[in-house]
Amino acid sequence: MIIQFNQVEDAQKAQKVAIAAKKIAFVHQDRVAYPQISQISEIPNYDAKKVKKVYEKHPTYVKSSRLFHPEDTIIRTPHSKIGGNNFTLMAGPDSIESAAHVLKMAQAVHEIGGTVLRGGSFKPRTSPYTFQGLGEEGLKFHREAADKVGMDMVTEIMDSRDVDLVSKYTDIFQVGARNMQNFSLLKALSTQNKPILLKRGMAATIDDLLNAAEYLAAGGNDQIILVERGIRTFDNKYTRNTFDVGAIPVLKQLTHYPIIGDPSHAAGFSELVTPIALAACAAGVQGLIIEIHDHPKQAFVDGRQALTPDQLKILNDKAQAIHQLLS
């Protein structure tokens, strides 16, 4: 149940009363959400005179829903504003390979206008015999590169036991597609005071993605960035995944979190990255996350889908133009 009050103060009081009565209740401005209550009679000290509107029907991802939080969430990191009318370029190598390489990639992305430097040091690989990432050493190289050029850092965390370690270095935690429903990882991250970039699982519905986001929000972390990165469909011969372009306007209707497009993992092939990225922009993403490499053939991971810095510049110019046109 979501109750919209006439006065913000009444909403705040109602939440306190509910918590004192051991009910889960969240407040946002003039609205209180009671995720486990479906009857008005169960709301402690309910006073109809103070109420503007009752939303009996709402999704289970109540805090993530626009019914509870109508305006866009804007996430502020040291170098970026993510969400709302902002367009954020995040880019970098798939994996941190060396200090010199990540610095070179950081300089290239920064020059193009990117503000978030991506790169994995804990890699979710299909085979245990392939490169697994540099671990803490990679986090250090990544942090140093981001600091040297003045960018934010985003890196994947795969295990709830690594929260303190990764938090020592990163500005934004990435939860990868394979861990989108790793609920113990989500619960561990829900108490962190840093944004989470949550990627849609390759077999996850839109509601699955939003319920995963709700695990973060329920625990207190509503600095959430959602990423459409392609889902598995019956055809993966020519693209690695199927970029669900329709999910973007749907997500923008359902939730207030920023939506970012990842065309790299959807495409799987560098020549498809730009068209898919531009489709994502036309559908309304608030930013892109792109894999780059100066020598894609030599990349440790995902080289076939990496753009060169020159290709990223061309993509970004077109993406910015589409964003301008639509805003």
* CA–CA gap between residue 181 and residue 199 (Å, rounded): 10
**142 lies in the binding site for ligand PEP (CB under 6 A):** no
What are the structure tokens assigned to 283, written together?
């559908």
Rounded least distance, CB 101 to ligand PEP, Å: 16
* CA–CA gap between residue 141 and residue 221 (Å, rounded): 27
Rounded least distance, CB 31 to ligand PEP, Å: 33
**244 lies in the binding site for ligand PEP (CB under 6 A):** no
- 79 CB-side CA count, 13 A: 21
Helices 270-283 and 247-254 pack at an angle, to 10 degrees, of 40
Single out the residue of 70, 124, 150, 246 in contact with ligand PEP (rule: CB under 6 A).
124
**261 lies in the binding site for ligand PEP (CB under 6 A):** no
Single out the residue of 63, 79, 199, 240 in contact with ligand PEP (rule: CB under 6 A).
199
Single out the residue of 11, 51, 87, 94 in contact with ligand PEP (rule: CB under 6 A).
94
For β-strands 75-77 and 80-82, DSSP reports them as: antiparallel
**176 lies in the binding site for ligand PEP (CB under 6 A):** yes
- Length, in residues, of the chain: 327
Find how far residue 1's CA is from the centre of its chain.
26
Size of the site for Mn ion (CB under 5 A): 2
- Nearest-5° angle of CA 302, CA 305, CA 311? 130
Site string for Mn ion, 75-104 (x = CB under 5 A): -------------------x----------
What are the structure tokens assigned to 172, written together?
């934004």
Size of the site for ligand PEP (CB under 6 A): 9
Q: Phi and psi of 91, rounded to 5°?
A: -160, 165
CB of 211 closer than 8 Å to CB of 239 = no
Site string for Mn ion, 282-321 (x = CB under 5 A): --------------------x-------------------
- The binding site for ligand PEP (CB under 6 A) comprises 94, 120, 124, 176-178, 199, 229, 265
- The binding site for Mn ion (CB under 5 A) comprises 94, 302
